[in-house]
Amino acid sequence: MQILVTVAKGLEGVVREELRGLGLKPEEAGPGVVGFSGSMADAYRANLWLRAARRVLLPLGSFEVKSGEDLYAGALALPWHRALSAGRTFAVEASVRDSAITHSGYAALKVKDAVADALRERLGSRPDVDRRNPDVQVVVHLAGGTCTVSLDSSGGPLHKRGYRERSVAAPLNETLAAGMLLLMGYDGSAPFADPFCGSGTICVEAALIATRTAPGLLRKRPFGFQRWAGFEERIWKRQVEEARSRVRPAPAPIAGGDADASAIRAAEANAEAAGVGGWVQFRRAGLSRFRPPEGPGLLITNPPYGDHAGAGEDLAPLYQGLGDVLKQRFAGWRAAVLTGNTALAKRVGLHPSRRIPLFNGPMECRLLVFELYEGSRKDGNRKVEGTGRNGE
């Protein structure tokens, strides 16, 4: 059967590689979506292991829609019994784009009525709707004249790992943090550092990768598929046991720093909740006092950058300081800096080797990659090649 994995734009390639690592064959499915053909057991495994994915959806069907009546009729004919049975609750969420039906709430209502009527015909009673905590989440996507109806096997966003005990302002999404690590080829074999660690998300995700901990092992609430009719618990338990058997000690140091004491406390609590507290060293330290593990290794960080392109000029000294620290203390390392402010990024004073477009929530950002050579590739001097402060 066809399975769709939703993903933040820019991380499609990462998720394709993750699927290949699980022995699956990814297919192109469009921006923000990666598809593959597989079984329900494969859907279980994708939910358990994927680090950079948002959700794993199982399409029930697609059909042409020109009116609300078309939408109802198409949804009525779908095989709802695959997931819904007597006593189970459901909810419908919808999105519309360039469609004859312009209101997502109306689309959700028509599909809800179709689900209820189809199951009343089959089971003799209508299932209850539970918008807050449904057993089965139905996802409707209307684009142009086509409607695709899917079941959310994840039961909510996969970034909700279950370890976020405490938070700070503007915390980084867990799947984005993992995606950046995987984009940079991190596997835990080399030291890792984040000098602006905040509540520790990048460091915790690094530790999960380094210890080969499947992110789904941390989840406190059931996955969506665990509440469906036909859930095969034996297969799922075997997958969980196999994942637990693969956990190992982290082979290299992981260090996070932040000037805010409350952020460090949050980071430590989150690492403990994730079961990796023993593998991450957090230290309260401003940028000028941050000391990396003995390298070379990988640095990924998400410094503050204001909420839009014209904001944050008061942060210019911080970015200048970041450039100085990278050159002085991280020679031989690779560094990646996520920023949504290109003007501030130039203050780092280093030429990025790559500028990778990513989205931090709705904000388009760039992951700037710096190769911090220990010496000039021309003369072997013990310096890190940089630029003037204007980044030119």
- Tens of pLDDT, residue by residue over 269-291, are 999 999 999 999 999 999 999 99
Has residue 87 been placed in a domain?
yes
* pLDDT of 386 strictly over 70: no
- Tens of pLDDT, residue by residue over 39-83, are 999 999 999 999 999 999 999 999 999 999 999 999 999 999 888
- Number of domains observed in the structure of the chain: 1
Q: What is the edge-to-edge ordering of all strands in the sheet holding 146-152?
A: 26-28, 33-37, 2-7, 53-64, 146-152, 136-143, 90-97
d(CA 350, CA 366): 15
In this predicted structure, which of 19-28, 119-128, 140-149, 323-332 has the lowest mean pLDDT? 119-128
Q: Please answer whether residues 245 and 238 qualify as being in contact, where contact means their C-beta atoms are separated by less than 8 angstroms.
A: no
Has residue 248 been placed in a domain?
no
d(CA 300, CA 207): 13
Closest CA to 206 of 184, 188, 218, 179: 188
* pLDDT of 388 strictly over 50: no
- Tens of pLDDT, residue by residue over 340-372, are 998 888 999 999 999 999 999 888 999 999 999
Structural domain boundaries enclosing 139: 2-152
- Burial class of residue 257, CB neighbours in 10 A (0-12, 13-18, 19+): buried
Has residue 265 been placed in a domain?
no
* pLDDT of 389 strictly over 50: no
Q: What is the 3-state secondary structure (H, E, C) of 183-248?
A: HCCCCCCCCEEECCCCCCHHHHHHHHHHCCCCHHHHCCCCCHHHHCCCCCHHHHHHHHHHHHHCCC
Strands 254-258 and 192-194: parallel
- Tens of pLDDT, residue by residue over 193-211, are 999 999 999 999 999 999 9
Has residue 314 been placed in a domain?
no
d(CA 95, CA 147): 10
Map tokens 């204007």 to a residue. Answer: 390
* pLDDT of 311: 56
Has residue 335 been placed in a domain?
no
Has residue 64 been placed in a domain?
yes
Q: What's the CATH code of the domain at 87?
A: 3.30.2130.30
**309 — pLDDT class (breaks 50, 70, 90):** very low
Has residue 62 been placed in a domain?
yes
Rounded to the nearest integer, the mean pLDDT of the chain is: 91
Has residue 199 been placed in a domain?
no
In this predicted structure, which of 87-91, 124-128, 343-347, 375-379 has the lowest mean pLDDT? 375-379
